[in-house]
């Protein structure tokens, strides 16, 4: 490389290499440590709240300090009914037109939001196929309904 045509500032920059970034010395303050008594009391409060008790009203806070505000207990959702123990499923694989899985997914999501059974894709397909098989005489009406 010929440096004769370059200005002296450029030559000096090349010789020095890339400039080092300038970093200011900054001190990051450490977070204050929690007081052991408060930590234990809050842990007990969480434990009691998990058991359904109103723990925050009974938890002991160090004097002169405010504790966390009591939150409303969450509404308990009903669990979905478990499948019948005697009922089992068999894995099968099918190729379907592309609009069927899309429609099935949409139907499943909509029905789940509305909490209307059947809402899982498996339940919807099982019910639809069972109805078709009964209608066409391949499964008796007395057969287990899914």
107 occurs within a structural domain: yes
In angstroms, the CA 86 to CA 104 distance is 26
Q: What is the pTM of this model?
A: 0.41
C-beta neighbour count of 1 within 10 angstroms: 4
- Indicate the number of domains in the chain: 2
127 occurs within a structural domain: yes
Tens digit of each residue's pLDDT, the chain (146 residues): 566 688 888 887 787 776 666 666 666 666 666 555 556 666 666 666 666 644 444 445 555 555 556 566 666 665 555 555 567 889 999 899 999 999 999 999 999 999 999 999 999 999 999 999 999 999 887 765 54
29 occurs within a structural domain: no
Give, as one character, the DSSP assignment of residue 17: -
126 occurs within a structural domain: yes
4 occurs within a structural domain: no
In angstroms, the CA 127 to CA 131 distance is 6
Q: Answer yes or no: do 56 and 100 share one domain.
A: no
2 occurs within a structural domain: no
User: What's the pLDDT tens digit per position in 19-50?
Assistant: 666 666 666 666 666 555 556 666 666 666 66
Residue 44's domain comprises: 35-60
C-beta neighbour count of 45 within 10 angstroms: 22
Q: Answer yes or no: do 98 and 51 share one domain.
A: no
In angstroms, the CA 119 to CA 125 distance is 10
141 occurs within a structural domain: yes
Give, as one character, the DSSP assignment of residue 141: T
Q: Answer yes or no: do 102 and 146 share one domain.
A: yes
Whole-number CA gyration radius for the chain: 34
């Amino acid at each position: 490389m010929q440096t004769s045509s370059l200005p002296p500032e450029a030559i000096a920059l090349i010789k020095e290499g890339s400039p080092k970034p300038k970093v200011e010395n900054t001190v990051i303050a450490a977070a204050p440590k929690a007081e052991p008594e408060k930590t234990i009391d809050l842990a007990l409060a969480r434990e009691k709240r998990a058991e359904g008790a109103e723990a925050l009203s009974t938890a002991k806070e160090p004097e002169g300090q405010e504790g966390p505000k009591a939150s409303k207990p969450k509404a308990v959702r009903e669990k979905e009914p478990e499948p019948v123990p005697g009922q089992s499923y068999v894995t099968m694989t099918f190729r379907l037109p592309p609009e069927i899985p899309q429609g099935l997914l949409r139907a499943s999501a909509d029905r789940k939001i509305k909490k209307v059974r059947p809402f899982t894709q498996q339940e919807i397909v099982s019910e639809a196929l069972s109805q078709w098989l009964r209608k066409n005489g391949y499964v008796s009406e007395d057969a287990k309904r899914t």
